[in-house]
Amino acid sequence: MEVADERWSAATFEELAMPLFDQLYNFAYWLAQDRTEAEDLVQEAYVKALKGFSSFQPGTNFRAWMYRILRNSFLTSRTGLKASAMVALDSDDSPELPAGPEMPETILIEHSQHQLLQTAIEALPVHFREALLLCEVEEMSYQEIAETLSVPIGTVMSRLSRGRKALRESLQQKLART
């Protein structure tokens, strides 16, 4: 979200931040998996962002900045600390896994199976879940995701690949049981 300096100088925090409200809330909910916690995270993120807005560098990515603040709030929350601890041993440096087996056409996701898919996403380790959501739902570029998560682009690619593979396997298992 590159914004011209002239426009930027006249813009208010509210004008820039409110259009991101629904997306940020959705992301917060996916991270925290609880409505009250999601609201707390969003509120904390907006308060922090407003406070730090004067230090925000015009011309840099405001959306990535907001997501980063929200994510940092999550990581320091109780749920976030617990979720991070669960994936701490899961090194980002491990080589990218080869693509998993192709999804059989018979198990293509139907609209009625959204619940199944949502459960599978919820079950993903938080580092995979957040990378996948930023890429698939928020349609961020690798660069934006890297800025949001404060990791190198290679790590973003690795997490996406591993997350997608884990999601496929999880879906196959769930579908096999049904």
- The two tokens of residue 38 are 């999601």
> CA 153 from chain center: how many Å?
15
Q: How far apart are CA 159 and CA 178, in angstroms?
A: 28
Contacts of 103 (CB under 8 A, 6+ apart): 168, 171, 172
**Which residue in 84, 141, 170, 172 binds other proteins (CB under 8 A)?**
141
Asked if residue 121 binds other proteins (CB under 8 A), the reply is yes
**Nearest to other proteins of 58, 86 (CB atom):** 58
Contact between 22 and other proteins per CB under 8 A: yes
Nearest one of 96, 94, 89 to 161, comparing CA atoms: 96
Between 72 and 136, CB nearer to other proteins: 136
User: Which range in 3-11, 68-76, 78-86, 87-95 contacts other proteins by CB under 8 A?
Assistant: 3-11
Query: Where do the DSSP E strands lie in 29-142?
Result: none
* 3-state SS class at 67: helix
Residue from the set 3, 48, 53, 68 that interacts with other proteins by CB under 8 A: 53
d(CA 33, CA 39): 11
Q: Which residues of the shown chain bind other proteins in the complex (CB under 8 A)?
A: 8-14, 17-18, 21-22, 25-26, 29-30, 35, 38-39, 42-43, 46-47, 50, 53-54, 96, 98-99, 102-103, 105, 108-109, 111, 113-114, 117-118, 121, 132-133, 135-137, 139, 141-142, 157, 160-161, 164, 167-168, 171
